[in-house]
Amino acid sequence: MTLEAAVDSYLRHVSIERGLSPNTVAAYRRDLGTYASWLAGHGVSDVAAIGQHQVAEFSRYLGTREDEPLGASSVARMLSTVRGFHRFVLDEQLVGQDVAREVKPPKVPSRLPKAISISQVNALLAATDGDDIQAMRDKALLELLYATGARVTEAVSLNVDDVFDEEIVRLTGKGNKQRIVPLGRYAREAIDTYLVRARPVFSARGKSTPALFLGARGQRVSRQNAWLIIRAAAERAGLDVDVSPHTLRHSFATHLLTGGADVRVVQELLGHSSVATTQIYTLVTADTLRDMYTTAHPRAR
């Protein structure tokens, strides 16, 4: 089978059979496009003609190419896509062996999630105060992100019916896995205000849609719009740190653990399939305690 046809078959598999999100499938398509272009440049157009040495050489190329060499984490991510592709073509019996199995990704230095303090979160949320409909929507969106730890895609994919009895919200995460997350009082009040006073105005400007968060023309708010909303709020709040939707997710987890929440509960709220992923946040809180101890204790230094 040609490499192009094998890649198309794999992308259909992860999209339809595995139910991965459109954003994840798009990332796989970009990664495999880079891989296929590199192989074509080396005279390989058939999936059965790929050998282990070519996969290893591709991995080295990514980190050393003259045009924007990738860092270790980006190389590891792209190689993960390539390894998944080669497992697939083996399972489909398109090839006789998994030539990527023994090619190890570069070691990635552990990076702790970036969280902002509770006072910074409060300043960020206060920057969305206002009586105009855009401010009400932005307040509802940011309060929900911080109250639930939702990924930005999960938040903008919400429909009105995903908010139950004003107290809990149904989030659909990676692999179409659903989870129920409580809403705090501030988030409930912000969403109530938005639904009653702002959303009907947005909705009247466009075609009928069940989307919870609507843009100026009545369409569903996009991931990019959510980023811009948060960035603008951070600028108005005068925060001197980079703030993104994922910053609020990290802050949600860190503040819960600092407040004494069980790591398994936080795992469920975040939608992590493995508790090991959630435990990274315990390192953040341990670092914070260590810094406070070193600063405050008379015999710490």
Catalytic residues: 151, 174, 246, 249, 272, 281
DSSP conformation class of 238: T
Question: DSSP for 136-190?
Answer: HHHHHHHHHHHHH---HHHHHT-BGGGEETTTEEEEE-GGG-EEEEE--HHHHHH
Q: What SS3 state is found at 274?
A: coil
- Rounded to whole angstroms, the Cα distance separating 264 from 268 reads 6
* Token pair of 212 as six digits: 């919870």
Tell me which residue has tokens 């936080």. Answer: 266
Q: How many CB atoms lie within 10 A of CB 89?
A: 22
